[in-house]
Amino acid sequence: MKNEVYGDLKKSPAVIEYTFRSIGTNGFIPIGVRFTESDDPGIFDLVFGLILDNGILNDVIRLNNGDSDKILATVVEAIERFTSEYPEKIIWFSGSTPARTRLYRMIISLNLDELRKDFEIFGKIDHSETCWENFEKDRPYVDFTIKRKIKN
Amino acid sequence: MKKMKKLPEPYELVRTYPGKVIYTESLKRCNEMIKRVKNLDLIKKPT
């Protein structure tokens, strides 16, 4: 049986990227913040890094452009835009290096009260078969998810 | 989202649609997580 369906469903593309130019001590560096649909269409993987000529993002390179905080602020802005457009999607991310993971944990912890007004945030304490839990300060999370709260 | 503590103003963003999915290490780990984690329902529950 073939049912009629509404035609206004909004399908997200499999990949959405926001780009910007880091401006610092080494000049202009092209950076990409990429959201890629995972095997579960409700969950998007987030990576950011240097845009290479073949379109791949190098997410482990240390840019040393003297503007790491501004880059991080821009990644946060990209999350804000993505989740505004696709509020039902969950963003998964994990530091590509231990230093990045610690940085993400610190930024979330510092802003947890503010973030919780608009987002649900979860953490997982290792990469293997453990469980997600509500993000709490001072827990050694290595994986993170963030999802916008739907407000009626 | 209000301005995050300890973070400056962001750069201007330009949105693009690369189209093609590139299977990065991060995406592989995300897919592994989906297969192996025990309580995916916690993060997927409606808000």
Give the chain A residue whose CA is nearest to the CA of B3. Answer: A73
Q: A52 — contact with chain B (CB < 8 Å)?
A: no
The Cα A65–Cα A48 span in angstroms is 15
ipTM: 0.89
Q: Which residues in chain A have their CB less than 8 angstroms from residue B16's CB?
A: 17-19
User: If pLDDT is split at 50, 70 and 90, which confidence band does A39 have?
Assistant: very high
For the cut 60, the answer to whether the pLDDT of residue A7 exceeds it is no
Task: Report CB contact under 8 Å: A132, B25.
Answer: no
Strands A90-94 and A27-37: unpaired
Q: Tell me the per-residue pLDDT of A68-112, one tens digit each, with 9 for 90 and over.
A: 889 999 999 999 999 999 999 999 999 888 888 998 999 899 889
